[in-house]
Amino acid sequence: MEEAKEKGVFNEEKACLVVKELRKSFDSGKTRSYKWRISQLEAMAKMIEEREKDIIEAVDKDLSKPQLEAYIAEVSQTKSSCSEAIKALHQWMKPTKVKTAITTYPSSAEIVSEPLGVVLIISTWNFPFLLSLDPVIGAIAAGNAVVLKPSEVAPASSALLADMLTKYLDNSAVRVIEGGAPQTTALLEQKWDKILYTGNARVGRIVMAAATKHLTPVILELGGKCPALVDSNLNLQVAARRLIAGKWACNNGQACISVDYIITLKHFAPTLINALKEELEQFFGKDPMKSKDMSRIVSSSHFSRLLKLLNDDKISDKIVLEGQKDEDQLKIAPTIILDAPDDSLVMQEEIFGPIMPIITVDKIEDGFDIIKSKPKPLAAYLFTNNEDLKKSFVENISSGGMLINDTVLQVVTPGLPFGGVGESGMGSYHGKFSFDEFSHKKGVLYRSFKGDSSMRYPPYTPKKQSLVKALINGNIFHMILILIGCSKL
Ligand code: NAD
């Protein structure tokens, strides 16, 4: 530990110090005030505005993310999250009045949202700004002190986040700790009041196990295989474009809510594949490797992981659109696989890249069984004009979120929660949901010294017992009879 300290390595000792300092700030009460929260949210909005160019450059370095995709997801969405919190904060912080029961008359009651304390946010690399700053906005809005640990897999973004948050925000209550597994492990050893983790389920389990030690609640934003069930009763061109928008034009498939695989009707699959090929060419040209409108694969280890999925013998004769691969540039062009067997790697793991398996079924409803046979996904999509099918999909398929006749846009819809269910995670955030996740909902009952009935105090006479029972059961008539001595006790 001494050696690590000398080298300036972030270890458990340093993690403990950071938490101590932030707890001191939290305990001083400064983060609770509306004034502090709003000042930090405004500073964050200013930061995103002023550093927009740096943000876009950082995601270009880390992922070659196309400028427009970077602007929409990393800048604009984070900005609107911030302005929503600024606009609504006063309202969110107001206690909610609750009706009281006759048994506590006279009284009033309310739910008070109080900050939890010092919270940890562990983020990932695919939308490094949005997925780091959006939870931080929620944590600050709710009045907490925060430590953000961005992903080491997107190093330019991680460094920029550390630089920006140090310059723009109050460092006595908001900190960024950079690093990978060892640094996160050091942080996880500490006692937090809540942990929000975004990433894969394997590390999700590590986070949850660490949190158990201190009984710390967790929000796990995980992933999984998000299906798109595609009926033949639809507008083919629009459906094909939107499927592409939810896969290759969405960080090249490296998104938790991107379409992982398609299920469609056997007779319709060739038509759908042709439409996808046509629209892909419209979007990315004849040589997609030269397109500037497609992100690269984030790292060589993720590149090798995707190659392993493609080199699986089980799909060698199933590739209907074979994308080029360039290891030097870390690029893989759109690849489509028809009827990959269920035990092939592409159907067993979350793909998180530009490979799209298409599974065929005889009846569209058979697609439900395929989706249900896998862990509950973070998102499920359906394309159809059939109203009964839409209804049945919403009623029968369990997923974090759902979108009919489009992809990905559920995440930018204000008022909708974002989060998983089952293996795709627990808890949800965005807007007011973030505020609520980072608050404790404290129930408060107010009474005066009036109305002090002896009914609730010993000695518990038979008359009192009958009165209390009548009161609890709401039987006012019986109560009156007891009081005037006309009812048997
Ligand atoms: P990652 O490799 O960046 O890991 C996520 C975080 O965990 C990082 O901060 C990393 O430092 C930390 N970490 C890694 N190993 C650790 C260990 N052994 N102990 C403690 N901490 C550790 O990201 P990833 O896991 O490759 O992210 C991709 C996954 O995240 C996919 O499954 C995707 O679906 C999911 N995801 C979910 C959401 C969502 O909002 N639900 C968003 C994006 C990605």
| Predicted confidence (pLDDT) per residue in 215-240, tens digit | 999 999 999 999 999 999 999 999 99
Q: Which atom of ligand 1 is nearest to the CA of 185?
A: 20
Structural class in CATH, domain 227-419: alpha beta
What local confidence, expressed as pLDDT, does residue 80 receive? 96
Region 175-195 average pLDDT: 98
303 CB contacts (<8 Å, ≥6 apart)? Answer: 297, 327, 330, 332
Distance CA 150, CA 139 (A): 15
Separation of CA 153 and ligand 1 centre (Å): 9
Domain ranges (residues) in the chain: 2-222+431-441, 227-419, 457-489
Distance CA 328, CA 418 (A): 36
Cα→Cα distances 200→124, 225, 307, Å? 9, 12, 19
Separation of CA 150 and ligand 1 centre (Å): 10
- For residue 208, pLDDT over 90 is answered with yes
What local confidence, expressed as pLDDT, does residue 8 receive? 72
Asked whether 117 and 23 are in contact (CB, 8 A), the reply is yes
Query: Is 0.85 surpassed by the pTM of this model?
Result: yes
Q: For atom 3 of ligand 1, which residue has the closest CA?
A: 124
Asked whether 117 and 169 are in contact (CB, 8 A), the reply is no
- DSSP labels, 268-296: THHHHHHHHHHHHHHHH-S-GGG-SSS--
398-424 burial string, b = 16+ CB within 10 Å, else e? ebbbbbeebbbebbeeeebbbbbbebb
Q: Which atom of ligand 1 is nearest to the CA of 125?
A: 3
Q: Which atom of ligand 1 is nearest to the CA of 419?
A: 41
What does the angle CA 450 – CA 455 – CA 460 come to, to the nearest 5 degrees? Answer: 150
Give the mutation target among 123, 124, 261 for probing the ligand 1 site: most ligand atoms within 8 A of CB: 124
Separation of CA 268 and ligand 1 centre (Å): 36
% of the chain residues with pLDDT over 70:
98
What is the pLDDT confidence band of residue 488, given thresholds at 50, 70 and 90?
A: low
Distance CA 288, CA 323 (A): 8
Give the mutation target among 200, 351, 433 for probing the ligand 1 site: most ligand atoms within 8 A of CB: 200
Q: What is the pLDDT of residues 387-418, one digit of tens each?
A: 999 999 999 999 999 999 999 999 999 999 99
- For residue 35, pLDDT over 50 is answered with yes
Q: Which residues are catalytic?
A: 221, 256
**H or E element that contains 482:** helix 476-483
Distance of CA 431 to the CA centre of its chain: 12
What local confidence, expressed as pLDDT, does residue 3 receive? 46
What local confidence, expressed as pLDDT, does residue 199 receive? 98
- For residue 4, pLDDT over 60 is answered with no
What local confidence, expressed as pLDDT, does residue 430 receive? 98
Q: For atom 15 of ligand 1, which residue has the closest CA?
A: 181
Separation of CA 198 and ligand 1 centre (Å): 5
Separation of CA 27 and ligand 1 centre (Å): 31
Q: Which atom of ligand 1 is nearest to the CA of 124?
A: 3
- Kindly tell me the burial class for residue 347, based on how many C-beta atoms sit within 10 Å of its own C-beta (0-12, 13-18, 19 or more): buried
What is the pLDDT confidence band of residue 76, given thresholds at 50, 70 and 90?
A: very high
**Angle between helix 236-245 and 269-284 (nearest 10):** 60
DSSP state of 376: P
Distance CA 85, CA 83 (A): 5
First CA to last CA distance, the chain:
74
Q: Which atom of ligand 1 is nearest to the CA of 188?
A: 20
Region 305-317 average pLDDT: 97
Q: For atom 20 of ligand 1, which residue has the closest CA?
A: 181
DSSP state of 405: S
**Angle between helix 155-168 and 52-63 (nearest 10):** 160
Region 165-185 average pLDDT: 98
Six-digit token string for 17 = 């110090």
Region 55-68 average pLDDT: 97
% of the chain residues with pLDDT over 90:
90
- For residue 127, pLDDT over 70 is answered with yes
Asked whether 151 and 125 are in contact (CB, 8 A), the reply is yes
20-43 burial string, b = 16+ CB within 10 Å, else e? ebbbebbeeebbbeeebbbebbeb
Separation of CA 130 and ligand 1 centre (Å): 14
Q: For atom 30 of ligand 1, which residue has the closest CA?
A: 199
What local confidence, expressed as pLDDT, does residue 41 receive? 98
For residue 145, report the phi and psi dihedrals to the nearest 5 degrees. -90, 145
Q: Which atom of ligand 1 is nearest to the CA of 202?
A: 25
- For residue 110, pLDDT over 50 is answered with yes
Region 96-104 average pLDDT: 93
99-129 burial string, b = 16+ CB within 10 Å, else e? eeeeeeeeeebeeebebbbbbbbbbbbbbbb
What local confidence, expressed as pLDDT, does residue 313 receive? 97
Rg (CA), the chain: 27
Q: For atom 34 of ligand 1, which residue has the closest CA?
A: 223
Assign domain 2-222+431-441 one CATH number from 3.40.50.2000, 3.40.605.10, 3.40.140.10, 3.40.50.720: 3.40.605.10
- Please give the residue that has the higher pLDDT: either 256 or 7: 256
179 CB contacts (<8 Å, ≥6 apart)? Answer: 10, 149, 152
Mean pLDDT for all residues in the chain: 96
What local confidence, expressed as pLDDT, does residue 1 receive? 42
CB within 6 Å of ligand 1 — which residues?
Answer: 122-126, 131, 149, 151-153, 180-181, 184-185, 198-200, 203, 206, 221-223, 256, 350, 352, 378, 420, 425
- For residue 273, pLDDT over 60 is answered with yes
- For residue 455, pLDDT over 50 is answered with yes
- For residue 442, pLDDT over 80 is answered with yes
Give the mutation target among 176, 203, 303, 408 for probing the ligand 1 site: most ligand atoms within 8 A of CB: 203
Separation of CA 146 and ligand 1 centre (Å): 19
- For residue 133, pLDDT over 60 is answered with yes
Separation of CA 420 and ligand 1 centre (Å): 14
- For residue 434, pLDDT over 70 is answered with yes
What local confidence, expressed as pLDDT, does residue 453 receive? 85
Q: What is the pLDDT of residues 42-52, one digit of tens each?
A: 999 999 999 99
